Amino acid sequence: MKIIIRLRKIIALIILLAGLIVLPHYLEFHYQDLLIFLIVNVLVVASYRIVTLTGEWSLIHAVMMGVGAYTAALLFKNYNAAMWFTLPLAGGAAALTAALLSFPLFRMTQFYFLIGSFAAGEAIRLTWMQFIFPFGGSGGLSGIEPPIIGSIDFMDPIPYYYLALGVVLICLFILYRIENSKIGMTLHAIHWKAPLAESVGVDTWRYRALAFIIGSFFVGIAGALKIHYLGTITPNQFGIGFMVFILIWVIVGGYKTIYGPLIGVVVLTIFDESVRGFGELRPAIYGGVLIISILFLPLGLESIYPKILTWCGIGSNSSDGPPP
């Protein structure tokens, strides 16, 4: 049975990858653009889930993406650094920022950590707005270009899509391996049984900080990916509005498994395009979707598949409790 299940997963993965490879060739230019930002946002929510594994939810993740984006932009503007250098350095800058912020932030927990992370993020974002040098002030920076490889034009959305897809898939694989490693199991244990974990010698502060640093590293890479394609960067791109979207993607998709946030960002991006014509009513529509999701799908869209299996008598819904 395990072999059959694994074979099905492999077949599904191959079909998904094939679909991702051919998809941009059947889309108009606008939707090719949208597909690139969707791929980047997949990495954003996947990295945010690592932070939530310990049970802590932060409001600084969007700003950490901005740290990576500004690092990439400044390296390109000042040193004409290639994207192959800016990507890891952007992740490193975000991770270093997270490491420094861990000392004050992780003295707090739950609601206080949430508010503290918001305050720290706003302090960083307002710094970008206040200093014209080197951050460009509220107007930000422009003229950031994608990489150059021979005759490949990465200003064209299709080549850049494949580049972003490759980077994101590598990052997702690493995040998946981390979650299924000893570190990931420890993070889960801290979430569900923190006192018990401490009683056997687990340094919960260190592991919470580690989750924060890992998540920040990968969202920093996402920021660099986005900004090299977009070409411009402003502080408002990483404000509380974008952070709210991240939270909605994760909550609606579900956060018990790595697949939940990915489902959430894909479904809600498609939904967002379908309601674009409603203009200023879109935030209200999103709010309604969030309320409906919390009321009727508290475990997110990812809980639908186990429920279907349960109703069919094929499996049991084991997503209500901690992982084994």
Q: How far is CA 315 from CA 1, 222, 264, 319, in A?
A: 13, 36, 23, 12
Threshold 0.85, pTM exceeds: yes
Q: How far is CA 68 from CA 46, 164, 280, 296, in A?
A: 16, 15, 30, 36
Give the chain's mean pLDDT.
89
pLDDT value of position 104:
93
pLDDT value of position 21:
93
Cβ neighbours, 10 Å, residue 128 = 23
Of residues 32 and 315, the one with the higher pLDDT is 32
**Residue 188, amino acid:** H
Say how many CA atoms lie within 13 Å of 161 toward its Cβ.
20
What is the total residue count of the chain?
Answer: 324
Give tens-digit pLDDT for 103-137: 999 888 888 999 999 999 999 999 999 999 999 99
CB of 260 closer than 8 Å to CB of 250: yes
Mean pLDDT for 65-91 is 95
pLDDT value of position 1:
63
Query: 220, 73, 223: which is closest to 134 by C-alpha?
Result: 73
Per-residue HEC secondary structure of 275-297 comes to CHHHHHHHHHHHHHHHHHHHHHC
DSSP structural state of residue 151: T
Block residue for tokens 């960002």: 265
Percentage of the chain exceeding pLDDT 90: 63
Q: Is the link from the previous residue into 104 a cis peptide, with omega within 30 of 0?
A: no
User: Can you state the angle between helices 29-52 and 240-253, rounded to 10 degrees?
Assistant: 80
**CA–CA separation, 262 vs 273, rounded Å?**
17
Lowest-pLDDT range of 60-74, 128-142, 301-315: 301-315
Cβ neighbours, 10 Å, residue 172 = 17
Mean pLDDT for 227-254 is 93
Mean pLDDT for 6-20 is 87
Mean pLDDT for 314-323 is 46
Query: 284, 241, 290: which is closest to 268 by C-alpha?
Result: 290
Confidence band, pLDDT 50/70/90 cuts, at residue 277: confident
pLDDT value of position 203:
87
CB of 252 closer than 8 Å to CB of 271: no
Confidence band, pLDDT 50/70/90 cuts, at residue 10: confident
**CA–CA separation, 172 vs 78, rounded Å?**
30
Cβ neighbours, 10 Å, residue 307 = 14
Cβ neighbours, 10 Å, residue 258 = 19
Block residue for tokens 């302090």: 123
- Largest alpha-carbon pair distance within the chain? 63
Query: Nearest-5° angle of CA 164, CA 168, CA 174?
Result: 155
139 has pLDDT over 60:
yes
Say how many CA atoms lie within 13 Å of 80 toward its Cβ.
1
Here the tokens at position 89 are 């350095």
Q: How far is CA 36 from CA 21, 23, 113, 290, in A?
A: 12, 12, 32, 25
Cβ neighbours, 10 Å, residue 300 = 24
pLDDT value of position 323:
42
pLDDT value of position 318:
45
CB of 3 closer than 8 Å to CB of 11: no
Per-residue HEC secondary structure of 164-180 comes to HHHHHHHHHHHHHHHHC
pLDDT value of position 202:
86
pLDDT value of position 312:
61
